[in-house]
Amino acid sequence: MAKKRPAKGSRAVKQSVVREQVVQPDYYAKFRCIGGECEDSCCRFAWRVDIDRATWQRYQACQSETLKPLLQEFIQPEPSPDLRRLGKFATVKFLPNQDCPFLNADMLCMIHKELGEEALCNTCAAYPRVVNRFGQQGEYGLAVSCPEAARVALLHPEPTVLVVGDVDGALARRGIMNFTVDGGARNVSVMNQLRVLILRVLQWRNVSLGARMMLLGSLLNEVSPSQGGPRFRDAAGMTSVLDTYATLFADPGYVEAEFEQLPGNLPRKLQYTTGFLADFLTGATPRFQECLTAFASGLLNGNANETAGSMAALMAHYERIYDDFYLPYFREKSYVLENYLVNEVLYGLFPFVRGSVIELYRAMVFNLAIIQVMLVGIAGHYKGLTDERAIQFIQSFARRSAHNDSYIRELTEAIASKDEPSFVEVMWMLKER
Ligand code: SF4
């Protein structure tokens, strides 16, 4: 990757940038796969690996003595015409121990070793990178379901800045495109202004993270007023909302006071969050299971026989481990969760693709609540938190949840109204205690 230059003027994604360049978060270029050193390798524990057409054809023609029989046995043609139309021509059949069959004894990829990086399928060649397009602008991002990507994306104290870099030739040649935002130039420009404001809200360190998320929900509510109508207000209507919200940065005390007024409900939050533990356990990697075990132990004070009858004692214990073990870490490292939210916005082009604006906001609130509650329990178990523990949970949770939205759907059904869904009705989950 060539040298990066700061994005002109601000963190804004400028439409004037020439197409041969891409916009990416400043940490993007720091990512390097650590291969055999990886503690939660993407080559293990049965991820679905889709094989694109060019790679499928190449594997069929492969004459390597070592690889040919493996490719014949473990690359399975995709029977569904619908999936083939989406470019998924085959999948990798994982071993009974859930390892990729192409991993060698040194935990390195045999295809990469024998045939070179260009022989990898698009999925393996790109991960954990994503390639997006916002209007005419190409963008790169990182998935925090990869441990090393999570470290570079989440552990920097400085706010994330977008920078302009050169196109990665290897990704470009493959034509990889994960998410796109389309529309006329005027609309794309206003949506870009909205995204700039979203990033500014999430990085507004003068107020708590909960207050920032409340403000974000309020902003999204204003720009997408009707669930049955268009996603966003027309460009002129949205610009005036953005201008109004920009004035709030002058008054952090007001925003924090508004957040203080929001009622919380810790017993309900714990009940819903822990209710999904069983779902999480299905298909969890050992790294994630370790987090769940630590959480349960920390929450129940090491007493697995703790019963629901002692809810008051459980709340008191939760508040104690929150104060004694969770808060000391996050007083110093509040940027970790801020960085997580900012990365979500950049990686998945939030809130422009992959669902309605309200669904995406709820999912973000729920995920943040789950991460906070789980980290409180984990902090209780280990009598404190470290970068390593925080990354272990956030990364392995992202890995468990990234390809399974069913728990978010179930959580939404349990918490939010179906008839008159609103942004406000999930905000109580933003209260930490
Ligand atoms: S999860 Fe990330 S660091 Fe680990 S092997 Fe995969 S790409 Fe490399």
Tell me the CA–centroid distance for residue 29 and ligand 1, in Å. 15
Burial of 331 (0-12, 13-18, 19+ CB in 10 A): exposed
* Atom 3 of ligand 1: nearest residue by CA position: 33
Burial of 404 (0-12, 13-18, 19+ CB in 10 A): middle
Using a 6 Å CB cutoff, which residues line ligand 1? 33-35, 38, 41-42, 127-128, 146-148
Q: Could you report the per-residue pLDDT of 192-247, keeping only the tens digit for each?
A: 999 999 999 999 999 999 999 999 999 999 998 766 667 888 888 899 999 999 99
404 pLDDT exceeds 70? no
Rounded mean pLDDT, 275-279: 73
Q: Strand order of the sheet with strand 5-6?
A: 5-6, 162-166, 21-25, 137-142, 129-134, 179-181
Mean pLDDT, the chain, rounded, equals: 89
Residue 343, beta-bridge partner list: none
Q: Could you report the per-residue pLDDT of 149-178, keeping only the tens digit for each?
A: 999 999 999 999 999 999 999 999 999 999
Residue 47 confidence (pLDDT): 77
Tell me the CA–centroid distance for residue 42 and ligand 1, in Å. 5
> 3-state class of 47 per DSSP?
coil
Tell me the CA–centroid distance for residue 100 and ligand 1, in Å. 13
Beta strand 50-51 pairing with 179-181? unpaired
Rounded mean pLDDT, 249-270: 95
Would you say 189 and 31 are in contact if contact means Cβ atoms under 8 Å apart? no
In sequence order, which residues have a C-beta less than 8 Å from that of residue 382 and are 6 or more positions away? 294, 298, 325, 389
